[in-house]
Every structure is written in structure tokens, then in C-alpha cells.
């Protein structure tokens, strides 16, 4: 009797799974919905009567878990990379040229063409064919555990079907919300008086990040799978997708393999024409070299593959009205005109502001308050005014008055010689400049004062707790606790982070000072060339021009900055506050340095350092730290879950060292 019931349960599960495959994957159901519902109801009854036979991969077990308090983290077995973008036909043609040059072939390349969905990238992890976990892309290495929410999507199989399923399988997929479902959801939320989602992508992301899976289950989410998270057991990307489909995973029917770049452009035009008629949002086409062996040969650069590119559709445009034009003051005092618009839905988002960039652009467009303008989202991201519809200009339209005084502090505005920018002359007397300078100083790539966000800094400046970066190092917990919503633990964390930031590097300190034209790379080059802050401060323009990649404009800005009494005083106060860095003697970059002249690449997750900290310590030993592996690479430091860079290093015969071996190189600096 018992065995008969178990057989019935397993037979029902297999039958329901087969119908799910026909319905969701093949889009060709073979039974009516009512019959399907009866099968599920019968399975529910048997499992309820015999809970000892209940399994988590049963079709009945999609929803039922208790709400979470927060999401835990999952580290991807293989990192989820981003793609480089193309915006013109020529960009795509140049991509094809680079591919053929790197492969050293003249024949046409076969490409897998796939719609680029405007949704949320996720990773599905199966073990022995059963769904074990699901995670968001996150930062590419670590994402949020959304397993319980993904289980609520009927299109995601809890158990794979078919033969030859790997013991461990990771699948990359895109979760999205169809247009019809998005509008229906927003209508329901409006009726309940809740805040509406601005576009289907935000709706999909918000639905997947619900702490209660039952809430996610009510949202109309769908999914398409587009890649293996690893090496598929086939020869081409197109075959890989067919393999996923055979295992019960849903793939887009618009995927296609074509030969040659002309055929790619034709596919792009076809999909662009179909774009508005598709039931879901797409924002471009992804082209991948179809041959997987060629993909492996092409490899990766930075955080993107060389074998794939996303050709974005042109920005969508809409017309709206200019309500006002305001001038925002940035960190360096530059005034940027910003148009306040009648809110309009453009390219999947509601736009109410658009930058006019600078005074020359404002004059070129001849924007008036009250004008009707065309707005686009460049790359479907940045709101931009394309042109003014002069024929619709109303009689009451008002020309924009160029400010002669700063809108924030009232001081005179100056136009910088040979530049189009207008700049407030007040310097740190101007509140936005003061706030911007301190925000930049404490940012991650500068002094990295963790927990000290923009909102806290704005409060501190307005309360006159700080007026200069050096003031940060004299804050007390009692002062921090006077800020709105500041708790004891947060205050202590900020103080601890401020204390920790006192030990830094010369390159970080230079970048943190906010010198015009001096970014991270220039700051590092200055540090490595002069080996000391005083030498940089005293350097002439001629000496600065000896630094690689520093031209007359940058040299002038550096020289001008350090000639300023204000800058000299700021540096002096910061040094008195205790900010310091290891002084690197000139000999450290000589032939005697441990890694002098060596090129090192970091890959995988490091246990004892962030990637940035490890890079700085290696540079201190004379190394050049690169983001890609080539035949010129001397060492690859492989952390946990190292991926394509490790494989390429092994292929090229580059020496691979562990994090422990790297720490032996760094031991003297670690003991300081």
C-alpha cells in the first residue's frame, strides 16, 4: 500500500514536471489548465496525507517558507561579469575586427545573437539536477541569496529533466516583469495607495528582494536563461542554450546564430523594429562569439569578456516642458545648469531633471523656461535634452538668466580662462563646495572613511561641526550624537573608521585632496615618481612634466594648487591630525626592489586583503599591477574561486602564486 502511494506521488510529480516543460519552455501546452490544476490538487492531497514523502523539489513546494529578516550572501562559484557596450554600427564593426585580429583569422566569425533583457541578472545553482540556491549578480563576485523567492517562479524548474545533467550546474539567467504584468501591478498598487514602480526592471528587482516569499509569489515574474556559469559540455553558445532547454530551462525563442558582422547588424535592425511589440522590455542585443573554444582563446579584460558585446538601442525620446532651469554648485565650485522638467516616462524611467552640461550647451540649445523639448536617456541612463521645439515656444517663455553670483552663497561667479565653465569664487566659504570636498576626501577611493555617508557630512557641515577635512579628526562621539538619527553604535563606527583612515598611502592622500585634473592614476604616478609629498609640493611645472602622462594642463593645476596658502594650510592641518603613509625611498623603485619591473595580476577572492589594498602593497614593492593576463605577465596571484585569469595564466605558462606566497613578499610591510 505504502509503496503504491509513493509510486503515485512520483508519477504525479513527473507528469506535472512534463506539463510545466511544455507550458513554460516549449510554449505548447498539451492539456487544459483545469486538468493541470486537478493533477496538482491530487498531489497536494497525497503529500498532505503522507508528509514523510514530501520533498523540496516537489511542484507543490514553491511557496511556504517563513519571511526572512534579511538576505544572506552567496559567493558565485565563477564571477558574473559585465559586458562592454557598443552604441553605433561602427562600434560593433570594430569589435568584430578586434575579435578576428586576436584570433588571427580573416574568415567571417559566427556569432550567437540574443536580446538584452532589461531585468535582473541572477545565478541558479543546481546539484544533481535539484535547485539548491539562487543569487543576484551583486558586485559580480558576491550576490544576495534569493533562493526562496526564485522558487516561487513557476518557470524555474526545481528539478531538471533529461539526461547527462552535471552533478553541479550553474546557470545565468535574467528575471524580468512583462509589460502587461507591470501595468497591472502598478494599477493594483495605486488602488491600495502604495508607491508605484517607475519601470518593469525596478518592479522585477523590488519583487525579488521581498523578505516574504509569499509576496514575491504574487508578482508576475518571468525568466530566460542565457548562459552556463562555467564550461558547458558542448562546442558553441547556441548549442549550450539548446542543452539548457533540453534540461527544462527556459530560453528566449529569439536567440539566433548568424555568420558575419553584416548578419549581426541585420539581426539588430530586426529586433529594434520588433522592440515595441515585444511583451517585455529589451534595451539592446548581446553578440557573443559562438565557438566556445574561440571564447576561451579570446579571454577577458578587466571585468568583461573579449568575446561578447552589448549593442545598445538608441535612446528613446519623449517631449516634455521645461519648468525651470537651476544652477547646481559642485565640489570644485563649477556651476552646472539643470533643467527641471514636467515628469515624463522615457526609456523605462520617469525623468524630471536633465543636465544642460554647461553655459555653452545652454546657449547652443537656446532653452527657455516654458519650452517644449525632446528628452532622451543617453545609453538609456542619463537624461539629456536633445532639442527645443521652437515652433511650440509660448509667448510667456522666459530666457534663462546666467548667474553673476553663486546661487548657494552669493559670491561672484567667474568664467575660467579658455574654459566654458562658470565657477563660484568663494572656495570653501561656499557650502556645496565645502560639503563636496569633504565627501570626496572621505570617499572609498580616497581616505575610505567607511560609514561616513553624504547625509552625515551634510548635517555636520550645516551644524558647523566640520568645515574642512582635518576637522573630521577632531570629532567626538558627543558631537556625532547630536546629529539627527545618529545612534551610539553608528557614531563609534564612524570614529573607528576615521582613526583607521589616518594610515593611508601617498597616492590616496593626493587623490583625496581633490586637485583639479588629478585622478587616481595621476595621483599614483606622482607618488611613484617623486616618493614624497614635500617634493611634489615644491615641484616646478617642468619637473611635473617629467611624470609619465602628465601634460601642461595637469602640471599647471598641480602647481597652482600647491602654491595656494589655503592648500598648504589644509595639508599642514591634515598632517598634524596624524595622517601618515609609509615613506618610500627612491631606491624602492630601483633594481633592488623585490618586484621592480615585474607585472603582477590578481585574480579570485583574497582572504586577508581587499584587491585594492593588495595592489597598493605590491606597487610599494615596485610591481606593476595589471588587470589582464598576457605573455608579459610575471606573476598571477590566485585567491579563492579564481576564474578565467588563472586558466589563461596556466595556458601561457605564467607563474601562479598563492595568497600565502604573496604575503611572504609583503611580510616586511605587514610588520610595520
pLDDT digits (tens, 9 = 90+) for 536-588: 999 999 999 998 778 888 899 899 999 988 889 999 999 999 999 987 544 44
Q: State residue 23's pLDDT score.
A: 62
Using the predicted structure, report yes or no on whether residue 302 has a pLDDT greater than 70: no
pLDDT-derived band at 199 (thresholds 50, 70, 90) equals: confident
Which has the minimum average pLDDT: 20-29, 410-419, 440-449, 460-469?
Answer: 20-29
Q: Residue 416 gets which letter from DSSP?
A: P
Q: What are phi and psi of 476, to 5 degrees?
A: -115, 160
Using the predicted structure, report yes or no on whether residue 381 has a pLDDT greater than 70: no
Domain CATH number, residue 452: 1.10.150.20
Q: State residue 371's pLDDT score.
A: 95
Using the predicted structure, report yes or no on whether residue 428 has a pLDDT greater than 50: yes
- Residue 554 within any structural domain of the chain: yes
Residue with the three cell numbers 534595451 = 283
Which has the minimum average pLDDT: 189-203, 251-265, 285-299, 350-364?
Answer: 189-203
Average pLDDT in the chain: 86
Comparing C-alpha atoms, which of 644, 663, 646, 659 is closest to residue 307?
644
pLDDT in tens, 591-619: 456 788 788 888 888 888 877 778 878 88
Using the predicted structure, report yes or no on whether residue 590 has a pLDDT greater than 70: no
Q: Are residues 542 and 455 in the same domain?
A: no
Domain CATH number, residue 110: 3.30.470.30
- Residue 416 within any structural domain of the chain: no
Q: Are residues 197 and 90 in the same domain?
A: yes
Q: Are residues 272 and 206 in the same domain?
A: yes
Evaluated on CA atoms 456, 459, 463, 464, the torsion sign reads positive
Query: Within a 10 A sphere around the Cβ of 425, how many other Cβ atoms?
Result: 14
Q: 247: helix, coil or strand?
A: coil
Which has the minimum average pLDDT: 265-269, 478-482, 592-596?
Answer: 592-596
Provide CB contacts within 8 A for 224, sequence distance 6+.
117, 173, 174, 176, 250, 251, 252
Angle, CA 125 vertex, CA 123 and CA 126 arms, to 5° = 145
All three cell numbers of 44, joined, read 497536494
Using the predicted structure, report yes or no on whether residue 175 has a pLDDT greater than 90: yes
Q: State residue 589's pLDDT score.
A: 43
> How are strands ordered across the β-sheet holding 110-117?
85-86, 308-312, 282-289, 110-117, 256-259
- 413-415/422-424 β-pairing: antiparallel
- Residue 67 within any structural domain of the chain: no
| CA dist list (Å): 69 to 56, 66, 84, 213, 360 | 22, 10, 36, 12, 51
Question: Which of 550, 584, 618 delimits the end of a domain?
Answer: 584
Question: Which of 500, 520, 545 delimits the end of a domain?
Answer: 500
Q: Are residues 171 and 281 in the same domain?
A: yes
Per the structure, the complete domain to which residue 365 belongs is given by: 317-399
Using the predicted structure, report yes or no on whether residue 255 has a pLDDT greater than 50: yes
Which of the given ranges, 161-165, 234-238, 592-596, has the highest pLDDT on average? 234-238
Q: Are residues 212 and 145 in the same domain?
A: yes
Q: Are residues 393 and 486 in the same domain?
A: no
User: Is there a contact between 506 and 527 (Cβ–Cβ < 8 Å)?
Assistant: yes
Q: Are residues 460 and 395 in the same domain?
A: no
For residues 90-106, average pLDDT? 92
Q: State residue 66's pLDDT score.
A: 59
Helix (H) or strand (E) segment spanning residue 89: helix 89-103
Q: Are residues 277 and 251 in the same domain?
A: yes
Comparing C-alpha atoms, which of 167, 171, 172, 125 is closest to residue 145?
125
- 635-638/599-603 β-pairing: parallel
Size of the chain in residues? 672
Q: Are residues 465 and 514 in the same domain?
A: no
Per-residue H/E/C for 361-396: HHHHHCCEECCEEEEEEECCCEEEEEEECHHHCCCC
Catalytic residue numbers?
116
Q: Are residues 143 and 214 in the same domain?
A: yes
Domain CATH number, residue 613: 3.40.50.10190
User: Is there a contact between 292 and 232 (Cβ–Cβ < 8 Å)?
Assistant: yes
Which of the given ranges, 78-92, 112-126, 132-146, 630-644, has the highest pLDDT on average? 112-126
Question: Which of 559, 584, 609 delimits the end of a domain?
Answer: 584
Using the predicted structure, report yes or no on whether residue 291 has a pLDDT greater than 60: yes
Q: Structurally, how many domains does the chain consist of?
A: 6
Which has the minimum average pLDDT: 466-480, 513-527, 634-648?
Answer: 634-648
Q: Are residues 513 and 485 in the same domain?
A: no
- Residue 64 within any structural domain of the chain: no
- Residue 409 within any structural domain of the chain: no
All three cell numbers of 149, joined, read 523567492
Q: Residue 579 gets which letter from DSSP?
A: -
Q: Residue 415 gets which letter from DSSP?
A: E
What does pTM read for this prediction? 0.53
- Residue 468 within any structural domain of the chain: yes
Using the predicted structure, report yes or no on whether residue 671 has a pLDDT greater than 60: no
Q: Are residues 485 and 532 in the same domain?
A: no
- Residue 124 within any structural domain of the chain: yes
- Residue 260 within any structural domain of the chain: yes
Using the predicted structure, report yes or no on whether residue 202 has a pLDDT greater than 90: no
All three cell numbers of 33, joined, read 489548465
Q: What are phi and psi of 140, to 5 degrees?
A: 100, -25
Q: State residue 472's pLDDT score.
A: 96
Evaluated on CA atoms 508, 625, 497, 579, the torsion sign reads negative
Amino acid at each position: 500500500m505504502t509503496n503504491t502511494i509513493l509510486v503515485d506521488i512520483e508519477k504525479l510529480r513527473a507528469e506535472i514536471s512534463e506539463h510545466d516543460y511544455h507550458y513554460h519552455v516549449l510554449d505548447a501546452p498539451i492539456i487544459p489548465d483545469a486538468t493541470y490544476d486537478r493533477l496538482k490538487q491530487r498531489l497536494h492531497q497525497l503529500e498532505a496525507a503522507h508528509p514523510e514523502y514530501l520533498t523540496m523539489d516537489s511542484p507543490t513546494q514553491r511557496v511556504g517558507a517563513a519571511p526572512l529578516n534579511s538576505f544572506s550572501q552567496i559567493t558565485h562559484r565563477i564571477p558574473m561579469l559585465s559586458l562592454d557596450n557598443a552604441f553605433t554600427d561602427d562600434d560593433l564593426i570594430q569589435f568584430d575586427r578586434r575579435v578576428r585580429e586576436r584570433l588571427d583569422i580573416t574568415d567571417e566569425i559566427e556569432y550567437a545573437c540574443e536580446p538584452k533583457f532589461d531585468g535582473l541578472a541572477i545565478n541558479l545553482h543546481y546539484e544533481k539536477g535539484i535547485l539548491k540556491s539562487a543569487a543576484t549578480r551583486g558586485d559580480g563576485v558576491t550576490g544576495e541569496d534569493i533562493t526562496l523567492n526564485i522558487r516561487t517562479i513557476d518557470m524555474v524548474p526545481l528539478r531538471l529533466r533529461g539526461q547527462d545533467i552535471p552533478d553541479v550546474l550553474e546557470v545565468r539567467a535574467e528575471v524580468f516583469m512583462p509589460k502587461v504584468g507591470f501595468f497591472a501591478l502598478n494599477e493594483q498598487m495605486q488602488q491600495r495607495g502604495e508607491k508605484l514602480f517607475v519601470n518593469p526592471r525596478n518592479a522585477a528587482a523590488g519583487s525579488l528582494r521581498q523578505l516574504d516569499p509569499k509576496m514575491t509569489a504574487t508578482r508576475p515574474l518571468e525568466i530566460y536563461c542565457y548562459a552556463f556559469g562555467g564550461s558547458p559540455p558542448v562546442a558553441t553558445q547556441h548549442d549550450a542554450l539548446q542543452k539548457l532547454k533540453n534540461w527544462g530551462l527556459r530560453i528566449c525563442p529569439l536567440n539566433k546564430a548568424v555568420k558575419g558582422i553584416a548578419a549581426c547588424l541585420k539581426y539588430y535592425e530586426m529586433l529594434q523594429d520588433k522592440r515595441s511589440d515585444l511583451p517585455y522590455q529589451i534595451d539592446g542585443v548581446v553578440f557573443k562569439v559562438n565557438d566556445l573554444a574561440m571564447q576561451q582563446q579570446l579571454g577577458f579584460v578587466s571585468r568583461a569578456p573579449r568575446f561578447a558585446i552589448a549593442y545598445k538601442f538608441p535612446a528613446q525620446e519623449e517631449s516634455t516642458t521645461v519648468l525651470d532651469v537651476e544652477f547646481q554648485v559642485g565640489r570644485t565650485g563649477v556651476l552646472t545648469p539643470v533643467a527641471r522638467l514636467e515628469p515624463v516616462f522615457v526609456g523605462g524611467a520617469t525623468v524630471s531633471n536633465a543636465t544642460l552640461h554647461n553655459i555653452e550647451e545652454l546657449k547652443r540649445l537656446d532653452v527657455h523656461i516654458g519650452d517644449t523639448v525632446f528628452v532622451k536617456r543617453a545609453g538609456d541612463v542619463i537624461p539629456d535634452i536633445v532639442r527645443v521645439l521652437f515652433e511650440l515656444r509660448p509667448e510667456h517663455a522666459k530666457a534663462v538668466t546666467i548667474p553673476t553670483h553663486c546661487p548657494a552663497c552669493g559670491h561672484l561667479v567667474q568664467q575660467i580662462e579658455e574654459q566654458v565653465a562658470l565657477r563660484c569664487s568663494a572656495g570653501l566659504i561656499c557650502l556645496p563646495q565645502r560639503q563636496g570636498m569633504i565627501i570626496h576626501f572621505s570617499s572609498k577611493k580616497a581616505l575610505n572613511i567607511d560609514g561616513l555617508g553624504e547625509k552625515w557630512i551634510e548635517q555636520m557641515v550645516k551644524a558647523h561641526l566640520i568645515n574642512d577635512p582635518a576637522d573630521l579628526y577632531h570629532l567626538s562621539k558627543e558631537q556625532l550624537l547630536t546629529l539627527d538619527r545618529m545612534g551610539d553604535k553608528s557614531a563609534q563606527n564612524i570614529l573607528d573608521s576615521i582613526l583607521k583612515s589616518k594610515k593611508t598611502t601617498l597616492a590616496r592622500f593626493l587623490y583625496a585632496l581633490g586637485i583639479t585634473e588629478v585622478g587616481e592614476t595621476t595621483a599614483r604616478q606622482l607618488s611613484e615618481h617623486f616618493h614624497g609629498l614635500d617634493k611634489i609640493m615644491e615641484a616646478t611645472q617642468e619637473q611635473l612634466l617629467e611624470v609619465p602622462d602628465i601634460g601642461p594642463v595637469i602640471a599647471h593645476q598641480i602647481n597652482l594648487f600647491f602654491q595656494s596658502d589655503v592648500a598648504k594650510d589644509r595639508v599642514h592641518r591634515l598632517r598634524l591630525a596624524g595622517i601618515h603613509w609609509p615613506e618610500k625611498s627612491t631606491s624602492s623603485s630601483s633594481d633592488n626592489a623585490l618586484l621592480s619591473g615585474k607585472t603582477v595580476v590578481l585574480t579570485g577572492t583574497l582572504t586577508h586583503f581587499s584587491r585594492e589594498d593588495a595592489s597598493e602593497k605590491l606597487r610599494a614593492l615596485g610591481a606593476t599591477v595589471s588587470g589582464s593576463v598576457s605573455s608579459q605577465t610575471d606573476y598571477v596571484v590566485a585567491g579563492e574561486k579564481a576564474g578565467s585569469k588563472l586558466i589563461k595564466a596556466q595556458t601561457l605558462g605564467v607563474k601562479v602564486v598563492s595568497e600565502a606566497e604573496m604575503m611572504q613578499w609583503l611580510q616586511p610591510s605587514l610588520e610595520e
